[in-house]
Amino acid sequence: MRMNTAKLRGKIVERGMRQEDVAKAIGIDSSTMSRKLNGGGELFTVGQMHKLADVLNLSGEEAADIFLQPDSQ
């Protein structure tokens, strides 16, 4: 599985938030958030994904579209 970072970034903007705000809300450093969004080898934990879904008020479908993307073959 992989994450659709473009959709996640879009939801952050759509909700009128900044990456730094979201990072603080889920309990991580803004530089860690940046690395996770830029594909620096760090993935969000399941707990962080749940917090992101709560903070961004994502529906189940939206969360699945972001966090549960099949690996491309």
pLDDT digits (tens, 9 = 90+) for 24-65: 999 999 999 999 998 766 789 999 999 999 999 999 999 999
Predicted pLDDT at 41: 62
Mind listing the domains of the chain with CATH numbers?
A: 5-67 (1.10.260.40)
pTM of the predicted model over 0.85: yes
2-6: long-range contacts (C-beta < 8 A, 24 or more apart)? Answer: 2/69, 2/70, 2/71, 2/72, 3/43, 3/44, 3/66, 3/67, 3/69, 4/65, 4/66, 4/67, 4/69, 5/37, 5/38, 5/39
